[in-house]
Structure 1
Amino acid sequence: MSIVPKKQHLLQACLAITIIATPAASTSPPTPQPQPLPPPIGEPVTIPGPEGPLAGSYVDAGKGAPVAIIIPGSGPTDRNGNSPMGVKANSYALLAQALQSNGVSTLRIDKRGMFGSKAALSNANAVTMSDYSHDVRGWMKWAQQKTGASCTWLIGHSEGGLVALWSSGGNMGRPRSGCGLVLLATPGRPLGIILREQLAANPANAPLLGAANGAISALEAGETVDIATLPPALASLFNPEVQPFLRDLMRFDPAEPLRYRRDPVMVVSGGRDLQVTAKDRDAFAANRSVLAGMPQRCIVTFEAMNHILKDVPADDRAANLASYANPALPLTPDLAPTVAQFIKTNGSRMGDECQR
């Protein structure tokens, strides 16, 4: 892939597409043929959105079970972890089922303007991180009213982890709410750093780097980028409609707020993640709490896990990418039990379980 489609955020470009060269220069393998998806799971639920209802699916693990909201990743990713861009891994639905078996209720949500929440916003690109966090806080209120829980956990995947951090007060000193966070394959560094790295990693992008880096610097400074001044290959990457959202992310350092949080946080990374690397995990690990008496953050790495939370063979990029279209491939086996244990023990120290 070389061009970011409409309604795809730049974070999706940065995390899911590692080159932006022209199609002729692209060496990405063909998109695997998606397999049929299983029937949806969970009770369909809605809450009011800005222009219409926001939609989700609730999976009940029984009376008294803790409840967690699963926040989807970047771009057009639905509540089940699937995307019209060829991703049919069904990861969030599988995670909800596995967490239910391990005693945790879940609420999976569609982002405003997309899928079941399409009526909530006429233009899905016209969003900011504050918009997404407002929606998440609405879902937190619903979940607590539904279950009687005193608080709600947030499980964010990829960009969803950034939304979880933002929603729970990890930005600009806003008040925190919720039980704690589980960050799955979440970027731990500012978006500008990651995007520059990924652009530079492919030699085919060399002719575009000057313009691309200039656009990134402008967005980091809070400026608007005129795409008419950019090479055509960059125009959709810096889509004007998503620039407000992008400016939010450019000024947000995901790891830094962990130094001052008082709630439990688990960071989960995959050793075979092609999109979020060990550098991001290490950024979270380096920003441990400086508050007296606070536990250290739980950092867990599953060495065989990829970005969509499934085990794949080592050094086999084709198999890794093929897993994105395979809903029958199970989740990484210990993922859900480890997350559930962290949640049910309220984020207390887990000994070796926190040092995988």
Structure 2
Amino acid sequence: MKYFAIFLFWIFLPAQSLMAQQGENVTLHTPTGNIQGTLLIPHVKGKIPVALLIPGSGPTDRNGNNPMMKNNALKMLAEALYQNGIASLRYDKRGVGASKVPGFSESNIRFEQYIADARGWVDFLKQNKKFSSIVVIGHSQGSLIGMVVAQDKAVSKFVSLEGAGDPINVVLRRQLQSQPEQVKKPAFAILDSLEAGKQVKNVPAWLYTLFRPSIQPYMISWFRYHPQKEIAKLHKPVLIVQGTTDIQVSLSDAGKLKKADPSAQLLIISGMNHILKDAPADRQENIKTYNEPDLPLNKKLVTELVKFIKE
């Protein structure tokens, strides 16, 4: 049987000096290791809002990059906010970059740890009297994490950037639906087991990358969180952003989030893809942008984010 590939990154964001834009390295101390980030604060008088940028899935660092792709999306976003008088904090995920903690292994990570790390950063920002408000911005998988974290009363607003509207197990089933029956049948059987909280030891070789035993505990913990249920718990300003050329998350996902939180603002940006940049609908050309670190962010995205944060 031939191996197959699923295009899924869930499992594997007045002008001042460049020196100032590099920001300050900051550390979140946790019982299970330190998480490293960058705090970028514009040199302006008075209090200003600060945005916590939560990265997407896989081994993603504070700039929105991973070993397979470099797009600098989160770095560019932080710098764009900085240029508009908004502070930001972005960080390397646990086990990634400067946040490699002692004893870290894939088999030990749980979705709740990512939530705890983001909550820790919110607590960190609470201590800084420079900030007038805290806005949580979650990209991709970070959107779901952000929904949970933004339930904290200290968070004034929440932004979902290209966030899924369904739980990840539903997304996986949808993506697997187009596969041949000899692939789909064992994959669905594994999903049935994981949804029941039971791990699967014997995984077919052609499904091993997706369902390797070491990632299964994490997937089980991730399955427990439903984006529509979590966003409905937010009784504060919410902005849902979705690009029309995103080949990972669809317009229907954004629609489901909006339905779950009718008071949320829904922003559809024509021609913007999953990494927040202008890209064609053609799949191969779209994917090329994932490794173009100098390609700028979509301009409308920056304008609307600044407006939402400051209004």
**TM-score, normalising length: structure 1:** 0.78
Aligned with residue 89 of structure 2, among 107, 128, 135:
107
Amino acid at match of 2:264: R
Amino acid at match of 2:122: M
Which position in structure 1 is the counterpart of 2:57? 74
Which position in structure 2 is the counterpart of 1:331? 297
8 A contact 2:10–2:141 mirrored in 1: no
The answer as to 2:174 corresponding to 1:197 is yes
Give 1:330 shift.
0.5
Give 1:258 shift.
2.9
Aligned with residue 274 of structure 1, among 247, 256, 265:
247
Amino acid at match of 2:90: R
Deviations 1:188-243 (CA, angstroms, capped at 9, x unpaired):
11112111111123x4x4321001111112212222222x1x32111231122222
The answer as to 2:234 corresponding to 1:302 is no
8 A contact 1:50–1:121 mirrored in 2: no
User: For residues 257 and 134 of structure 1, what CA distance do their matches in structure 2 show?
Assistant: 16
Aligned with residue 84 of structure 1, among 67, 70, 82:
67
Aligned with residue 321 of structure 1, among 287, 291, 307:
287
8 A contact 1:183–1:267 mirrored in 2: yes
Which position in structure 1 is the counterpart of 2:199? 224
Any unmatched runs of 5+ in structure 1?
5-12, 19-37, 170-174, 290-295, 346-356
Give 1:165 shift.
1.4
User: For residues 209 and 3 of structure 1, what CA distance do their matches in structure 2 show?
Assistant: 11
Deviations 1:251-279 (CA, angstroms, capped at 9, x unpaired):
22101233342111111111000101112
Q: What percentage of residue pairs aligned between the two structures are identical?
A: 35
8 A contact 1:168–1:178 mirrored in 2: yes
User: For residues 100 and 157 of structure 1, what CA distance do their matches in structure 2 show?
Assistant: 18
Deviations 1:30-76 (CA, angstroms, capped at 9, x unpaired):
xxxxxxxx998321111213333210011112341100110111001
Which position in structure 1 is the counterpart of 2:226? 253
User: For residues 197 and 187 of structure 1, what CA distance do their matches in structure 2 show?
Assistant: 12
User: For residues 144 and 112 of structure 2, what CA distance do their matches in structure 1 show?
Assistant: 11
The answer as to 2:257 corresponding to 1:284 is yes
8 A contact 2:126–2:154 mirrored in 1: no
Any unmatched runs of 5+ in structure 2?
12-17
Give 1:156 shift.
0.6
Deviations 1:4-53 (CA, angstroms, capped at 9, x unpaired):
9xxxxxxxx773389xxxxxxxxxxxxxxxxxxx9983211112133332
Amino acid at match of 1:213: F
Aligned with residue 212 of structure 1, among 187, 192, 197:
187
Which position in structure 2 is the counterpart of 1:127? 109
More strand by share: 2
User: For residues 58 and 10 of structure 2, what CA distance do their matches in structure 1 show?
Assistant: 11
8 A contact 2:106–2:215 mirrored in 1: no
Which position in structure 1 is the counterpart of 2:100? 118
User: Given the superposition, is the C-alpha separation of residues 114 and 322 from structure 1 closer, same or farther in structure 2, using an over 3 Å criterion?
Assistant: same
User: For residues 126 and 268 of structure 1, what CA distance do their matches in structure 2 show?
Assistant: 32
The answer as to 2:152 corresponding to 1:143 is no
User: For residues 28 and 211 of structure 2, what CA distance do their matches in structure 1 show?
Assistant: 32
Q: 2:197 is paired with a residue of what secondary structure?
A: coil
User: For residues 310 and 95 of structure 1, what CA distance do their matches in structure 2 show?
Assistant: 11
Which position in structure 1 is the counterpart of 2:9? 16
Aligned with residue 158 of structure 1, among 137, 140, 150:
140
**TM-score, normalising length: structure 2:** 0.89
8 A contact 2:106–2:214 mirrored in 1: no
Give 1:316 shift.
2.2
User: For residues 70 and 125 of structure 1, what CA distance do their matches in structure 2 show?
Assistant: 26
Aligned with residue 312 of structure 1, among 276, 279, 287:
279
Count residues with an aligned counterpart.
300
User: For residues 65 and 281 of structure 1, what CA distance do their matches in structure 2 show?
Assistant: 29
User: Given the superposition, is the C-alpha separation of residues 245 and 3 from structure 1 closer, same or farther in structure 2, using an over 3 Å criterion?
Assistant: farther
User: For residues 105 and 154 of structure 2, what CA distance do their matches in structure 1 show?
Assistant: 28
Aligned with residue 183 of structure 1, among 160, 168, 174:
160
Deviations 1:247-305 (CA, angstroms, capped at 9, x unpaired):
2222221012333421111111110001011121111121125xxxxxx1011111100
Which position in structure 1 is the counterpart of 2:213? 240
